[in-house]
Structure formats: C-alpha cells, structure tokens
Amino acid sequence: MLVQRIFASVLLAVCIGLALMAWPYQAAFSYEPVGPRAFPLLMLGLMGLGLLYMLFRPTPIVHSEDDPKLDRETLNKIGICIVLLLIFAGLFEPLGFILSSILIGIPMARLYGGRWLPSIVVTTLMSVGLYLLFDKLMDVPLPLGLLDVLEN
C-alpha cells in the first residue's frame, strides 16, 4: 500500500508540474474551437483526480487470480506498443494522419491477435473515418501528409 501511495504522490507532483508549464501557453492563432491549451489541462486534471483517489483511498488495490500476469510476453507487448506509438509520432507530420494510422494500426492489431484481412480493413476504415470526424466535422485540422494531393 505504501508503494502505491508513493507512486500516486510522485505522479501527482509530475501532473502538477506539467499543468503549471501548460497553463501560461497561448498560441499566436487559434486553429481549434477550444484552443491548444484545453486538452492537456483537461487530461492532467483528470489524471490528478484519479491520483488523488489513489493517494487517499482507504484500502490497497488487490489483484485477483483473473488479472493478467505481468510476465515477459506482456512486457514485450507493452514495449512494442511504446515503440509503435513513437514511430507514429515521428511519421504523423510527414505521412499524415491516415497513412501513419494505417501503418501503425495494422501491426498493433496483429500484436494483439488480429487476423490480417480484418486488421487491414478495420484499421483503414477507422483511419479514414477518424480523419473525417476530426477534420471535417469537428474542425480539428489533421495533416494529410502524402495524401495532400487529394484535398480540394
């Protein structure tokens, strides 16, 4: 229980530090309806509330037999996910949202047991659908990258 409270305290301090860094941020122009400052502050606030609960809850978190073990296979999957997300972040601007999402989504689906054809179809449809949802309906611009020739 002490380790859980220490973890919550340290992570809460990190959240507070990040919120203090994000608070004064002002963009020169606003390209989103709520501005670029709202999302990180909202996420940090929600994380902070969860960490406060972890810090002051009366009983420790107890894992049951049904919980997955943190064995080598699970840790390898977590590591591969982190690497894929870092690759996604690096390819996001040059390739654009749709292509980078497809390129990373297919191996992610395969990593967790997806078959080839459903992984390709679902990832492609979700990438295009999410692009249309954010860029066209919610006015949150996403880069098209190599597919920039398709725009108007």
User: Where does residue 59 rank: exposed (0-12), middle (13-18), buried (19+ CB within 10 A)?
Assistant: exposed
pLDDT at 49 over 90: yes
Query: What's the pLDDT at 30?
Result: 59
Instruction: State the average pLDDT for the chain.
Output: 85
Alpha carbon distance 53, 47 (integer Å)? 10
**Residue 26 confidence (pLDDT):** 72
Angle between helices 97-111 and 116-131 (to 10 degrees): 150
For residue 40, the SS3 value is helix
Evaluate whether 100 touches 88 at the Cβ level (below 8 Å).
Answer: yes
Q: Is the pTM of this model over 0.75?
A: no
- The proportion of the chain whose per-residue pLDDT surpasses 90, expressed as a percent, equals 40
Tokens 């679902």, located at residue: 122
Which of 60-64, 113-117, 125-129, 145-149 is least confident? 60-64
User: What confidence tens digit (pLDDT) does each residue in 9-45 have?
Assistant: 999 999 999 888 888 877 666 555 666 677 788 888 9
- Tens-digit pLDDT profile for residues 90-109: 998 899 899 999 999 999 99
- Mean pLDDT for 80-98 is 92
Is residue 54 within 8 A of residue 5, CB to CB? The reply is: yes
Q: Are 54 and 4 in contact (CB under 8 A)?
A: yes
